Amino acid sequence: MGILPHRDVQAAMRLAFSLDIPFWPQLPRVRFQEDMYAQACDGLPGFAVDAQEKTVRFSYESFLQELETYAARSDEPDYLALSEGSSVVFRQFLEQDVASAWAIRGHMIGPVSFGLKIFDAEKRPVIYNPDVRSIIFDAFARKVNWQYRMLSQRNPRAFVWLDEPGLEMLWMSFTGYTDQSAKADLGAVLEAIQGPRGIHLCGKPDWDFLLTAPIDILSLDAYRCGEVFVAYDQAAEFLRQGGVIGWGIVPTHQDILKDETLDGLRSRLAHLWSRLAQKGIAEDRIARQAVLAPATCCLLNPDEGVTVERAFEWLRSLSVQVRREFGLDRT
């Protein structure tokens, strides 16, 4: 959930730094290169960003031509870096006083979602091509590790998570790429990632798929998916093993948030934690291993950033309530 709807870069940065765990924002309304799929293309053989048409293109012919360069240079520390042309704020973020933050977060689109979203000349997802898929998964682990190195130099509690909205597609219909293949491929990427391993998604996958993956942090749209999520026995086991759950409890869509109240959201969260506690996990442990978050990112509101900023304000208030209730601090 690094995406913000703002066109004002500094306003977006202020909002990102208003949370206990600041993040660097993706700003696709500033320019298309900020789109999370476009941002991931730096250094990938065969992929090109068409800013005018607002699309990511893939050419297998270019892939073969550029593959030798990738193989020769991919071990270079900065070869797969996030370029300044792909983010207007990343380097600004690093220049801030992030050392004083409780933690900081980075993010990038996950390889499964990327591979399912981008199509080749025959209109097939590139993930279907085993040669291309292997490079995508290899490159994404390296990209996450580069970002983690940059962030961890500024804050020892840095982490980077993968946004994987496309995971739910694996169970919605036949995709030509199975959930078994995805679990093996994604698991290999996660094992190669340095630092805490996290996945965020707003969709509805098979939760056992993720709860048994080698991750430390799982972030979900708890507002919409929480009831199903807490019904899984593996959710309690994930916490027993020390996992952290990001509870996306505050909606960012204008039509939804306008009908909510802060007390109503607190009650909703309490209900989810109570159901999870029935599986033998104390609620204070759930709270200690919790991160509160917006339910989703949102670019659809006609008021652009107004509702999102209100959602972040509510999130801060909700966090204070929960910490006070459970006697938690930020240490």
More confident site: 235 or 331: 235
d(CA 1, CA 292): 12
In a 3-state reduction of DSSP, which class is residue 49?
A: strand
Average pLDDT value for the chain: 94
Question: What is the β-pairing status of strands 55-58 and 47-50?
Answer: antiparallel
User: Do 98 and 104 meet the contact criterion of CB atoms below 8 Å apart?
Assistant: yes
pLDDT in tens, 54-74: 999 999 999 999 999 999 999
pLDDT in tens, 98-141: 999 999 999 999 999 999 999 999 999 999 999 999 999 999 99
Class for the domain spanning 1-207: alpha beta
Indicate the pLDDT class of residue 300, thresholds 50, 70 and 90.
confident
In single-letter form, the type of residue at position 234 comes to Q
In single-letter form, the type of residue at position 289 comes to Q
User: Mean pLDDT across the stretch 45-62?
Assistant: 96
Domain extents in the chain: 1-207, 221-331
User: Mean pLDDT across the stretch 171-197?
Assistant: 88
pLDDT value at position 173? 62
Q: In what order do the strands lie in the sheet with 197-201?
A: 104-109, 158-163, 197-201, 217-220, 244-250, 290-294
331 has a pLDDT exceeding 60: no
